[in-house]
Amino acid sequence: MGFFSTLFGKNKTKNRVNRPIQEMPVNKITYKSDLIDSLKDDHQELFKIYGELVELANNDAFIKVPTKLGEFKLALQAHILVENVQFYVYVEELHKSDPTHSEFIRDVRKEMNTIARVVVNFVKKYQMKVFTPDVKKMFFEELNAIGEALTKRVEMEESKLYTLYVAG
């Protein structure tokens, strides 16, 4: 009977309308002492897979390249996801009052998203290709360019960007 009494006004509770709305908890990304080591491990995994791609290409084992490209893409996407959700959100908040660091972080994040698009397009391009001699030549050239960009990027992240990740 309690439900009907309340519904028809016989069992009114005081201040029902005037109760304060509880604030939703803010989900903040917290410092994780092992995050940088984990991101560096991701880098080593990316280099390992990249090396396997180079080895497959050098050994003319192009039949196995599409599968390895899929692994490379997945490893990169997983790494970027962790960086975006755990690393960048944290350091952007930590350094929001420092315009120099904030701009650097934004620029580096934007650059990584560009690199990711290039890699994803590379993978899409060669996952379904028939590897003719001309395609093999283009693949080697593009794979080499990605390797150079990856090396340069990882060196910068590990020597500059990751140093901004400190307990706040």
Buried b (16+ CB within 10 A) or exposed e, 19-32: eeeeeeeeeebeee
Question: How high does pLDDT run on average in the chain?
Answer: 89
Question: pLDDT: is 18 or 78 the higher one?
Answer: 78
Phi, psi of 87 (to 5 degrees): -80, -60
Coil vs helix vs strand at 71: helix
Tokens describing residue 43: 């880098």
Answering whether pTM is above 0.95, one says no
Q: Provide the 10 A C-beta neighbour count for residue 112.
A: 19
- Alpha carbons 160 and 39: distance in angstroms, whole number: 14
Architecture of the domain made up of 32-164:
Up-down Bundle (1.20)
Domain boundaries in the chain?
32-164
Convert the pLDDT of each residue in 139-167 to its tens digit: 999 999 999 999 999 999 999 999 999 99
